Structure 1
Amino acid sequence: MSAVQKSSRREFLSHAAAATACATAASSRLAFAAPSDRLNIAFIGVGGRGGANLHTIASDAGVHVAALCDVNAKNLASAAEKFPQARQYADFRELYETTDDIDAVVVSTSEHTHAYATMPALKAGKHVYCEKPLTHNVFESRAITKAAQDAGVVTQMGTQIHAGDNYHRVVELIQTGAIGNVSEVHTWVGRTWGLQSPEAAKANRDIVSVQNRPSEAMTPPDYLNWDLWLGPAQERPYHDVYFPGPKWYRWWDFGNGTMSDLGSHWNDLAYWALQLDAPYRIEAFGDPPHPEIAPASMSAVYSYAARGELPPVTHSWYQGAHKPEIWEEKGIPQWSSGTLFIGDNGMLLSDYSKHLLLPEAEFKDFEPPEPFVPDSPGQHQQWLAAIRGQGETASPFSYAGPLTEANHLGNVAYRVGQAIDWDAAAMKVTNTDAERFLRRIDPREGWSWS
């Protein structure tokens, strides 16, 4: 390890130790329960990903399932069989009418209701675990981040890859200068869910072939409360192009396509390793935006200013058919998805489970730094432990909120159709009118979380 690397690592460890000490102390002060106390937890959304969250968290011997909520009666009945003692709800607004016996809430609904299910918990002083992406839009991300800070509770966004050893090792390599100063990062994913041409749709079943919102109505399944599923979105007839998941996430009213979904995992690595904050300029590329449906293929370039001694950096995102030029030219291994850090002393390529220093010949004798990012027992157990005053979470809303906000801004630039200049403090695009893409302008009557 070079002298520069050793110095960088000592500096990082010094800051990390101080931050960990403060965070751990804060977690201890804010802990609701002693390690031996039972945690009463409500679960909103108990099918699919929500069912997995319920199973994992409820397997903790110190957890009591206090309440179950789902607009899908089949999901609710299945969960209630396993936890018959829990109160049952179809409407989470009714669940929040009685919270005295609840210590924490797990939110695993569709993306467009995350903020609406999370905000009441924060206002009631409950710890929250929320699935990714944290919110449906930029405005909600900022509001949830602030509410979590004001509440002083333990929060975690469900980004399981963040807890994995591979991401930890990549962060250590980047932050100790293994490839020098990084000024360029490229992240790409192969998923092609979204809207493309009818020709492309025939060749790929994941691509939405519907070109416009269906005008005809279908009868919802008898187990689904369609009105509650719509939540704050404007009323529209049920159709099977929206339900079941993951169909809904391709539609702007309910999700934000691949960017906000997989961006929560893949952009996380660069955001964490390079200590990114808010981009000041974002430009997106792709086919003309559709008013209803997110794209299958697009790309975006985020520009970040210097952060202390860290230099300015551009972070480019690619999804579907879009790939970095160096990938197209076979200048790096042809991984279907990955993040490539380009530094002044080399490159680092990573995916979820592995990473590679490039050129390999130049790093054959490289000795990685001793691990210093703490091991994680997993996102769920980490959250439960932090509630009990044991350590801290790795994806608290103070981190996950700004990450989600940045991801959403890529879609905002794409939908506006031009580069946008972002004033993070004012939460405003300064060079064009983009307000309609920053927030839900007209939530349906009866749906409010502010």
Structure 2
Amino acid sequence: MQDQPEKADQTQSTISRRRFLATSASAAAAIGFGAPAIVRGTNLNEKLNIAIIGSGGRGGSNLRSVSSENITVLCDVNEQNLFRASQSHPKAKQFKDFRKVYDHPDQFDAVVVSTCEHTHAFATLPALQMKKHVYCEKPLTHSVWEARVIREAARKANVATQMGTQIHAGDNYRRVVELIQSGAIGPVQEAHVWVSRAWGWHPSEEAARAAKDLVYSEKRPSHSDEIPQGLDWDLWLGPAPERPFNNIYFPGPKWYRWWDFGNGTMSDLGSHWIDLPFWALNLDYPLTIEAEGPPIQKEIAPASMQAIYEYGQRGEMPPVTVGWYQGTNKPQIWKDGKIPQWSNGVLFVGEKGMLLSDYSKHVLLPEKEFADFKRPEPFIPKSLGHHAEWIHACKTGAPTTCNFEYAGLLTEANHLGNVAYRTGKKLHWDTQTMKATNAPESDQYIRREYRKGWELS
């Protein structure tokens, strides 16, 4: 490392504050944030040596967000992305294949992974096995099984981890969590999350055009387009089934609606939007999951769909049902006009009222009944910033809020919505065995086969 100048009703609120702090402390202990050996004695004025795996698109944004540190390694399958990143970090070693990065562990203390979803686990696991700190873009992995592998590896590694759900660092989410956990609307037994994005397969081309979809197809193209100059297509495919290059997959965000590379809107935006009820309601493993949408397509995720999760009691919190709706699907209470018609939102339904939120604002409903409501004093600390929080954790062993223990559970749940959709059954989930006990046919979507030459171990 190199030297660098140091550039929340009062009773209910108090009880909830204590519960939050106790939960946070327990979570930190469970995932090993007791000052990992790698950071003990680290000077906060020192810079981390960071390897960047994926430097274009989200990767470029993540790179800029950690550029106050020492960028020692740049890796991307696209030479154009590498070239652009190297202009700001000319001394960084360059690689196309992230597997080669791990042949040089002395070059970095931490890794930022911003590859496509289907290679997240492959780029992240070696870092954890080497006890390197990791920041990985959402969704954490491509499958339920991969999320479990990464979560367990992170727990064993005892390093600082963070998934890239940047909105989690915003003040609005914190205030919503405080309101729910302090009992502002009473016990919550129902929550709904909806997003307007409608990218993916539509039942008709007319519907696709109406939604202004970026790309419409329900079949895998058999012909090959010219591979863009500088792109290593074989490396880009990684563990996914081999196929000819086609512009329908590349560049992003085209790829994420194809099952082989991503999981559509469910895992992409679910990482951000389901994060709020997951956090506020202390969610973990769903007991059942059922989903519905257009006819299932083998190759591509649906533009519009919905999934319903049932969770058991968590501590003093009662069992809760959480609904996810994307595209044209909306919760019935929204369609009935009983709440504001926000195009994207999270609705908590409690015994004493409702709370509606989006990324930047929230409202207690019915508003007239909460006109004189006194909010709890804030008890969730202001974030340093999503990336800054991770960097601080790398140097001090402090906890992060989207660590891989939390993010792994969130990712598993999100993927199970798609598993239920693709299986076409209400799944009864056994988290210990990672199986739907009533639907063995779902196994193929929980863990998939990888292309020859690629293994996750």
Q: Same-fold call, TM > 0.5?
A: yes
The match for 2:304 among 291, 297, 310 is: 297
Give me the whole-angstrom Cα distance separating, in 1, the residues matched to 2:49 and 2:15: 43
Query: Which residue number corresponds to residue 404 of structure 2?
Result: 397
Q: Could you tell me which residue of structure 2 aligns to residue 437 of structure 1?
A: 445
Distance 2:428 2:384 in 1: 40
Higher mean alpha-carbon deviation, 23-32 vs 422-431, is at 23-32
Deviation readout 1:123-156 (Å, 9 max, x if unpaired): 1110000000000000000000000001111000
In the alignment, what sits opposite 2:255?
248
**Contact 2:167/2:359 (CA < 8 Å) preserved in 1?**
yes
Q: Which amino acid aligns with 2:371?
A: K
State the Cα distance separating 1:53 from its structure 2 match: 0.6
Query: CA, structure 1 residues 217+306, in 2 after alignment: closer, same or farther (shift >3 Å)?
Result: same
- Does 1:50 find its partner at 2:59? yes
The structural deviation recorded for 1:288 is 1.5
Aligned to 1:170: 176
1:388 is paired with a residue of what secondary structure?
Answer: helix
CA distance, structure 2, for counterparts of residue 14 and residue 159 of structure 1 = 22
- 1:27/1:389 contact within 8 Å kept: no
Contact 2:121 2:146 in 1 (8 A): yes
Change (3 A) 1:207 1:72: closer
- Output one character per residue of 1:328-374: Cα deviation in whole Å (capped at 9) or x when no partner: 11111110000000000000000000000000000000011000111
Q: How do residues 199-278 of structure 1 correspond to structure 2 at under 5 angstroms? A: 199-206=206-213, 208-278=215-285
| Deviation digits for residues 390-444 of structure 1 (CA, Å, limit 9, x no counterpart) | 6321100010001000000000000001111100011111001211100122x11
Partner of 2:152: 146
Is residue 179–residue 344 contact of structure 1 (8 Å, CA) maintained in 2?
A: yes
**Corresponding residue for residue 184 of structure 1:** 190
* Aligned-partner residue type, residue 254 of structure 1: F
Q: 1:97 to 1:17 in 2, by over 3 A?
A: closer
Shift of 1:30: 4.2
* Superposition deviation, residue 21 in structure 1: 7.8
TM-score (norm 2): 0.94
Asked whether the 8 Å contact 1:114–1:134 carries over to 2, the reply is yes
> Contact conserved, 2:304 with 2:329, CA < 8 A, in 1?
yes
1:3 and 1:365 mapped to 2: Cα distance? Answer: 14
**Distance in 1 between the 2:218 and 2:20 partners?**
52
Q: Is this contact kept in 1: 2:354–2:365, CA < 8 A? A: yes
Q: Which residue of 2 aligns with 1:120?
A: 126
In the alignment, structure 1 residue 34 sits paired with structure 2 residue 43: yes
Q: Does 1:346 align with 2:365?
A: no
Deviation, structure 1 residue 101 = 2.2
2:200 and 2:20 map into 1 onto residues whose CA distance is 42
**Structure 2 counterpart of 1:275, which letter?**
N
How many pairs were matched up?
A: 446
Quote how far apart the aligned CAs of 1:11 are: 4.0
* Runs of 4 or more above 3 Å deviation: 1-4, 16-25
* In 1, Cα distance between equivalents of 2:289 and 2:422: 12
C-alpha spacing 1:84/1:11, structure 2 compared with 1 (3 Å): closer
Would the alpha carbon gap of residues 23 and 141 (structure 1) be closer, same or farther in structure 2, given more than 3 Å must change? closer
- Whichever residue aligns with residue 47 of structure 2, its letter is R
Q: Secondary structure at the match of 1:371?
A: coil
Unaligned runs of 5+ in 2: 1-7
User: For 1:64-88, what per-residue CA distance to the aligned partner results, in whole angstroms no more than 9, with x for missing partners?
Assistant: 1110000111000111111111110
Calculate the aligned-residue CA RMSD, in Å: 1.7
Give, in angstroms, the shift of residue 379 of structure 1: 0.9
SS of aligned partner of 1:219: coil
The match for 2:73 is: 67
Q: State the 1:37 CA deviation.
A: 2.5
Unaligned 5+ segments in structure 1 are: none
Identity percentage over the alignment? Answer: 57
Q: Is residue 111 from structure 1 mapped to residue 117 from structure 2 by the alignment? A: yes
SS in 2 for 1:28: coil
- Give the match for residue 426 of structure 2: 419
Code of the aligned partner of 1:193: W
* Distance (whole Å) between structure 2 residues aligned to residue 198 and residue 279 of structure 1: 35
Range that drifts further, 166-175 or 78-87: 78-87
